[in-house]
Amino acid sequence: MSTKRTTWLANPLAIFTGTDEDARGGLVVSGPVIVEIVPLNSEPVTPYEEKVYLTDQVVIPGLINTHHHFYQTLTRALPAALNKELFPWLQTLYPVWANLDPEVHRAATRLALAELLLSGCTTASDHHYLFPANLTDAIDHQVEIGSEMGVRLALTRGSMSLGKYQGGLPPNSVVQTEQAILADSERLVAKYHDRSRFSMSQIALAPCSPFSVTTELMRDTAIMAEKLDVRLHTHLAETIDEENFCEKMFGMRTVDYLESVGWLSNRTWLAHGIHFNEAEIKRLGQAGTGVCHCPSSNMMLASGICHVKELEVAGSPVGLGVDGSASNDCSNMIQEVRQAMYIQRLRYGSSAVTHFDAYRWGTSGSAKVLGRDDIGTLAKGMAADIATFKLDEPRFSGAHDPLAALLLCGAHRAESVMVNGEWRVKSGELVGMDIEQIMYEHKRAAATLAARAIA
């Protein structure tokens, strides 16, 4: 349903804008833009054609997921990969993922985006780095499906060039040559990277990790990102094993390695970023390097807890990501915001981390991580990316503060979601999409992938 006409989203039960402005009277949306913030007990100055009452709904900016692996929705709770730390977990799953093909990858992408939308997510970043010989156009699939579903995309062209025979972790069947990786990266940026305000599709360059690509590819990717003016992304400092691997292979710690290959800059954001020392955090902050905190994945794999507060104080933007659905086992952004609040309280204490901190990480913090200034807050001139939630389930009964209750009581499904001024979820259901059909195709794809691994 289009909202190209001017609409007043009126009188919400509660609203978090990410700013200090009084928006208790709601928001006025015209096309893809928020054109007015309405104070409490006020009428809009802007003429409007439609009024949507939100008196029973909590309103927040659309959530922004800054790290994911859509394909991993196909291997949730896979028995062979249960109860393992990162490296053995990866070694178990790489042979399964090596059997990806276009059909199963499309099903995974569609399901992941549907799940994210239903949880209040409006911008989704995916880190796809597996390119078997028959899946070289994986990013093209994602752009096509994301456009169909109306999700704002920040897709990263991942890569692996260091296979098992060269001392890396992934099987050689999923690695590519540096020449092929760089050529496809340049193609994707030229074809899909939109730099305009309210862009729905952007591309970043994203070697998987220091233990799956060569030093030369890391350097060449940074040079290309500078030339094409796009962002850089990779996994870094997720586990102690990774730190040890980096020191053994390169003779330096992860942040030193990052600097040595030209990645220590405000063009870069890192997934996880757990095992940095005080001096490294200071260097990351001075460079403006962003970090995506992935709390559920970090708990599931027992990787550790990100030093979010120190990173923010140092100057690093911090956002949130659900990570892959094989290390989180769901792609639910509102639940991830809750997990972030709880795990950071475990580190800093219950009085040092509020629900407002968690909302910030999942909205404006994530926007900064992606280098965007047009999403992440509800303010005049910002994109009309909006999520609303009803507190009408038993879990919310008796709650006194609606904004706190949304996280403390465990919201998991949005009532409505607007992306770029278009309703993509209404009454808790996807608009114009059949979730049962999406799930049917996805379950069949998951079964197919698992069977291939056994064969």
User: Looking at the DSSP assignment, which residues form a beta bridge with residue 202?
Assistant: 154
pLDDT tens for 355-404 read 999 999 999 999 999 999 999 999 999 999 999 999 999 999 999 999 99
pLDDT, residue 220, reads: 98
pLDDT confidence of residue 211: 82
- 188-211 average pLDDT score: 96
The pLDDT tens digits of the residues spanning 232-266 come to: 999 999 999 888 888 988 999 999 999 999 999 99
How is the chain split among helix, strand and coil, in percent rounded to 5? 40, 20, 40
CB-based contact 310:278 (threshold 8 Å): yes
The predicted structure's pLDDT at residue 455: 65
For residue 82, what pLDDT is reported? 93
H or E element at residue 29: strand 26-30
Phi first, then psi, for residue 202 (nearest 5°) are: -135, 155
State the amino acid at position 437 in one-letter form: Q
Residue 3 has pLDDT above 60, yes or no: no
CA distance 173 to 402: 51
**Residue 2 pLDDT > 50, yes or no?**
no
- Phi, psi angle pair for 281, to nearest 5°: -60, -40
Average pLDDT over residues 94-109: 95
Strands (E), 264-363: 268-272, 290-293, 318-320
Alpha helices in 39-82 (DSSP H): none
CA distance 57 to 66: 26
* pLDDT, tens digit (0-9, with 9 covering 90-100), for 118-150: 999 999 999 999 999 999 999 999 999 999 999
Q: Tell me if 163 sits within 8 A of 170, measured CB to CB.
A: yes
Sign of CA dihedral 116, 403, 25, 54: positive
Q: pLDDT per residue over 208-217, tens digit each?
A: 998 889 999 9
Q: Which residues of 151-187 are buried (b: 16+ CB within 10 A; e: fewer)?
A: bbbbbbbbbbbbbeeeebbbbeebbbeeeebbebbee
Whether 1 shows a pLDDT value over 50: the answer reads no
At 275-327, the pLDDT tens digits run 999 999 999 999 999 999 999 999 999 999 999 999 999 999 999 999 998 88
What's the pLDDT band for 37 if we cut at 50, 70, 90? very high
pLDDT-wise least confident of 49-58, 101-110, 156-165 = 156-165
Do the Cβ atoms of 50 and 66 come closer than 8 Å?
no
Residue 23 has pLDDT above 80, yes or no: yes
User: What's the pLDDT score for residue 164?
Assistant: 75
Q: Which residue type does 20 have?
A: D
Domains of the chain: 7-61+375-430 (2.30.40.10), 63-369 (3.20.20.140)
Q: What's the mean pLDDT when you consider all of the chain? A: 95
Is the separation of the CB atoms in 101 and 134 below 8 Å? yes
Quick one: pLDDT band at residue 4, thresholds 50, 70, 90?
Answer: confident
